[in-house]
Amino acid sequence: MADSGVSGGADKKDNIEREKIEGKELTKEEKQRLRKEKKQQKKGKEKKDASLPQVSVAETAAPASQLKAERRARQEAERTSKQSKKGDTGQPATTSKPKIPPNELQPVVKRLPEHIQVDDPDVLKKLAKKLERQQIPRRLDYGYKVSLFSHLLQYSRKAPLTQQLSIPSAVIHPAIVRLGLQYSQGIVAGSNARSIALLHAFKQVISDYTTPSNEELSRDLVNKLKPYISFLNQCRPLSASMGNAIKYIKKEISNIPSQFKEDDAKKKLLNCIECFIEEKIVLAAKAIAKSSIEKINDGDVILVYGCSSLVNHILCEAFEKGRKFRVIVVDSRPRLEGREALRRLVQKGISCTYVLISAVSYILPEVSKVFLGAHALLANGYVMSRVGTSQIALVAKAFNVPVLVCCETYKFCERVQTDSFVSNELDDPDDLIVTRKGETQLKDWQQVPRLGLLNLVYDVTPPDFVDLVITDLGMIPCTSVPVVLRVKNVDLL
Amino acid sequence: MELQAVLMAAGGGSRMTDLTYNTPKPMLPVGNKPLMWYPLNLLERVGFEEVIVITTREVHKMMSTDPKTKLDIKMKLDVVCIQEDGDMGTADALRHIHQKVKTDILVVSCDLITDVALHEVVDLFRAHNATVAMLMSKAHEFTETVNVPQRDFVGVDQSGKRLLFMANEADLEDGLIVRRSIIRKHPRMHIKTGLVDAHLYCLKKAVVDFLAENKSISSIRGELVPFLVRKQFSKMTSGQKRMDDTETVDQKNDGLTNDDLFFPSRDEALLQLAQERSCWNDHRGDMSEAYHGGKLRCYVHIMDQGLCYRVNTLSAYIEANRMAPKFIEEPAVHPSAVISERFQMGSDSMIGAGCHVADKTSIKRSTIGISTTVKEKVKVTNSIIMHGVTIEEGCNIQGSVICSNAVIGRGADLKYCLVGNGQRIEPEGDTYSNTKKSILLEVSVTFGLV
């Protein structure tokens, strides 16, 4: 493989020689290519040398001592064996991971993400080191955690991460700081909103980015984005949709051909981001609305839970198309997001009823359909959504009411989870404290021993309770999610 | 870059003329450091690396030459000198440096001494994409009583963060008028009067551009901020008639629309998209979206704990001196001071560099400036002694302010007095005392301010 690289390099070298002769300045990319060729040639030479140890020893023994030469030969032998194992195409080792061809079955050891291993001190140490390297302050845990969830992070909203940052933030782009603040204070909430806001911030980062000299945009920009992503993760753990969006952007950046000038590359990236939002979020919502409207009949009583931007959109579209239905909005503490959903639906003119989740079994006999939004769809068909959704799906199943989950395909996630404990998010426990009639019962909850406040954000609904998933690819059963994922992966490659 | 800091140090100190007669206000010593040092220290601690300082030539000269007033600040200070005539208001000064302003700015006044966590103010500015975010503090007891007809009325919403109403009593002739548009959007408003405006503002760049075009506004605090607060609730287009307000104060500003101040950020459509899909609202109970769809937002952070002083009156100056040791990490007694052994010093006192303090002196709750000489048997209580003062033996100084280079003769007895710059008090003088506890301006006249 190194030979082919060398031969290919030789061609490119000829090009460069020609250009030199023609009197043109070597461009930055060509200089880098030259450097790469030289390195490849050196490696090729070393490989040849390793196969003839005596020759190399003879060559290098002249000025240096015998021991040094032997050590070098041993190192080269190790290096070439490593190269052949990894299937290296001769590129210098600046890329982070070697590419694993898709059809090769390799035992992949999946690393557990750090944010669900908080009770392991080694993982914490590693995380602290990583953050220190990226110059990002670490947000501290707050309060007593219920033992079942002690492996998760719990932050306080009153201690924002910006406390530890310098005020004109130099390390982190101001758009990202603003975004992180908005996430941690809950101003931008809901997985679609968070993804769009993230992409908007990335657009600003990319517009303000300038490639430093001796660096390539495709590699340097990805490295610039890594600390920002860590920062956002510290402010609020990333959602699955955000993770997919980031993967997409990173792939787009790495695929920028090196001949592109900086302005063209930036324009292309901004275009890609806009396309992503337009296709995967806006148009997907339109497609889902179109399919769902077929499922909504006149005289329906539709139950929704919390505030899902997609479900609200569907209902508003259906109402505009002239379907006659009424909506029951179910809400739960402490977020009480249903009030916002209620406001939006009533503003359109839809007649709504509002109940708390404790009244769900009371109200279900009236309901004809349940529409639920999703935060992510997992690879085993489970639906991850706001805490309380699985409860609603369970009760609806008991009453034989069809449950329809609406979800765009960009929220499909390769994770597999069967319970809500393993990976979840713990919100600020002080949100559970409420003042009624001038009295705040839980004011000193930290002083009471053995009292823990738990404010879960997500839960997982098994596919037996979900009758249909409406996506922009059509209406599929819950168990077809892995098929969609596989199809998506093949498309990407 | 996110924020640029601007320090306003051209003020004249109109309310403490006796002190500022010889020394310009930004250079007045508080805890043996010039007054300017405190806001600059605050900015430096928080992480700013450069500050634009707007000041007079005199102050600039003092900053760079006078060793007594050197600043120990590691930030880069970009000094802009303006004329001293005092006609230039703070907004005029901003207009003057309009070319240097490239991003949003943080405006601080040189007389602000505070230990606020600055991120609280800036976070409001960032998170809500506010047009202006300011800092206010609950007033302390020493400040002039509330009967002064210069009360500020500040109206905030239920969360205590959004600024709905701001007016000074002097501008309200008929009484406090609250527009119906405000009440319709925010039915519960808390109006506070006992607040100290710290004169710390985060302003969007669009506001500075707006100032550059509208030359009628000359003061940030007096005109610009109330104008912005009012503009939050005015209609979006100028064509529509405003039906519900009877204010005559802002007649001249009627022509300006909200659109002048609202410069859309990049990809406004995308931001709108994100906001529409977000399930957050800043108020509830009515049908409108977050922020009532308004693009102009003013926020305030009200400190209820911690120190915040604006040193623009004499009593504020004295109080600040008393609190100064809390801000400064240096030891109370400067290492280069020559202190004798039989000498009593209280814990609240501060002794500056190069002082000579002789035997049997007693210094309690006072600040002694740089290069002062205190001879034997002197009792100094509750006073502020500035630089280069000589206090002869046997003096008794209580509750006074002695300005630079004064000489207090032997055996003088001063109570609650203010001695001007370079004055001489005759030895064995009569008990110059001021029976009232506050320092009167007339008394200082008898000491002969030249």
Helix, strand, coil percentages in chain A from 3-state DSSP, rounded to 5? 55, 10, 35
Record the tokens describing residue A376, joined without a space: 């992510």
Distance CA A177, CA A169 (A): 8
* B127-186 per-position pLDDT tens digit: 999 999 999 998 776 555 444 557 789 999 988 899 999 988 887 888 888 889 899 999
Q: Is the separation of the CB atoms in B418 and B432 below 8 Å?
A: no
In whole angstroms, what separates CA B159 from the centre of its chain?
A: 25
Three-point CA angle A189, A191, A194, nearest 5°: 60
Count the neighbouring beta carbons within 10 Å of the beta carbon of residue A362: 9
Count the neighbouring beta carbons within 10 Å of the beta carbon of residue A47: 19
Which of the four pLDDT bands, split at 50, 70 and 90, describes residue B260? low
A474 vs B432, residue with greater confidence: A474
Count CB pairs under 8 A between chains A and B: 107
Distance CA B34, CA B217 (A): 30
Least confident of B68-72, B216-220, B311-315: B68-72
Pairing mode of beta strands B401-402, B418-419: parallel
In whole angstroms, what separates CA A338 from the centre of its chain?
A: 26
B285 vs B199, residue with greater confidence: B199
> If you measure CA to CA, which chain A residue comes closest to B51?
A168
- Torsion angle (degrees, nearest 10) of CA B341, B344, B347, B348: -120
Handedness of CA B31, B33, B34, B36 (dihedral sign): negative
Chain A: closest CA distance from residue B132 (Å) = 15
> If you measure CA to CA, which chain A residue comes closest to B50?
A168
What is the percentage of chain B residues whose pLDDT exceeds 70?
83
Distance CA B54, CA B448 (A): 33
Q: How far from A454 is each of A6, A424, A429, CA to CA, in Å?
A: 61, 12, 6
List strands edge to edge, sheet with B367-368: B350-351, B367-368, B384-385, B401-402, B418-419
Chain A: closest CA distance from residue B431 (Å) = 53
Look up tokens 């901020």; give the residue: B225
Q: Is the separation of the CB atoms in A137 and A164 below 8 Å?
A: yes
Write the ipTM: 0.84
3-class secondary-structure state, position B215: coil
* pLDDT at residue A7, as a whole number: 45
* Cβ neighbourhood burial of B369 (10 Å; 0-12, 13-18, 19+): buried
Q: Say yes or no for a CB contact (<8 Å) between A197 and B122.
A: no
3-class secondary-structure state, position A63: coil
Please report residues of A whose CB lies closer than 8 A to that of B279: 189-190, 193, 306-307, 309, 337, 340-341
Count the neighbouring beta carbons within 10 Å of the beta carbon of residue A222: 15
Q: Which candidate from B119, B267, B274 shows the least CB-CB separation from A162?
A: B119
Count Cα atoms within 13 angstroms, Cβ side, for B296.
Answer: 22
Q: Which candidate from B1, B122, B274 shows the least CB-CB separation from A188?
A: B274
Distance CA B120, CA B124 (A): 7
* pLDDT at residue A55, as a whole number: 46
Look up tokens 């559970």; give the residue: A432
B79 vs B140, residue with greater confidence: B79
Please report residues of A whose CB lies closer than 8 A to that of B5: 168
* A153-163 per-position pLDDT tens digit: 899 988 888 88
* A335-360 per-position pLDDT tens digit: 999 999 999 999 999 999 999 999 99
Kindly provide the b/e burial profile for residues A376-392, where b requires at least 16 CB atoms within 10 angstroms of the residue's own CB.
bbbbbbbbbbbbbbbbb
3-class secondary-structure state, position B359: coil
Distance CA B38, CA B35 (A): 6
A8 vs B196, residue with greater confidence: B196
Chain B: closest CA distance from residue A209 (Å) = 12
Chain A: closest CA distance from residue B131 (Å) = 14
* pLDDT at residue B433, as a whole number: 54
**Cα–Cα nearest to A236, from A316, A153, A321:** A153
Please report residues of A whose CB lies closer than 8 A to that of B106: 167
Q: Which candidate from B1, B106, B277 shows the least CB-CB separation from A196?
A: B277
Which of the four pLDDT bands, split at 50, 70 and 90, describes residue B295? confident
3-class secondary-structure state, position A389: helix
The tens-digit pLDDT sequence of chain A (493 residues) is 444 444 444 444 555 555 444 444 556 666 667 777 777 776 666 555 544 444 444 444 455 577 777 888 888 888 777 766 654 444 443 443 444 444 455 566 667 777 788 888 888 898 889 888 888 888 888 888 888 998 998 999 888 888 888 888 888 999 999 999 999 999 999 999 999 999 999 999 999 998 888 888 888 899 999 999 999 999 999 998 999 999 999 999 999 888 888 899 999 999 999 999 999 999 999 999 999 999 999 999 999 999 999 999 999 999 999 999 999 999 999 999 999 999 999 999 999 999 999 999 999 999 999 999 999 999 999 999 999 999 999 999 999 999 999 999 999 988 899 999 999 999 999 999 998 898 998 888 999 888 889 999 999 999 999 999 999 999 999 888 888 888 877 765 5
Query: Given a cut of 80, is residue B85 above it in pLDDT?
Result: no
**Cα–Cα nearest to B301, from B123, B112, B438:** B123
Q: Is the separation of the CB atoms in B38 and B46 below 8 Å?
A: no
Q: How far from A102 is each of A105, A108, A490, CA to CA, in Å?
A: 8, 12, 9
* pLDDT at residue B149, as a whole number: 56
Whole-number average pLDDT of chain B = 79
* pLDDT at residue B266, as a whole number: 58
Q: Say yes or no for a CB contact (<8 Å) between A309 and B277.
A: yes
Chain A: closest CA distance from residue B261 (Å) = 20
Q: Say yes or no for a CB contact (<8 Å) between A306 and B276.
A: no
Please report residues of A whose CB lies closer than 8 A to that of B118: 167
What is the end-to-end Cα distance of chain A in Å, rounded? 23
Distance CA A136, CA A18 (A): 47
Distance CA A148, CA A420 (A): 11
Q: Is the separation of the CB atoms in A169 and A177 below 8 Å?
A: yes
Please report residues of B whose CB lies closer than 8 A to that of A306: 279
Element counts in chain A: helices (H) and strands (E): 16, 12
Q: What is the CA radius of gyration of chain B?
A: 25
Q: Say yes or no for a CB contact (<8 Å) between B127 and A185.
A: yes
Please report residues of B whose CB lies closer than 8 A to that of A277: 270, 273
3-class secondary-structure state, position B134: strand
Q: How far from A417 is each of A392, A407, B184, CA to CA, in Å?
A: 19, 18, 48
* Contact residues of B toward A, CB < 8 A: 1-5, 46-49, 106, 117-119, 122-123, 126-129, 266-267, 270-271, 273-281, 284, 287
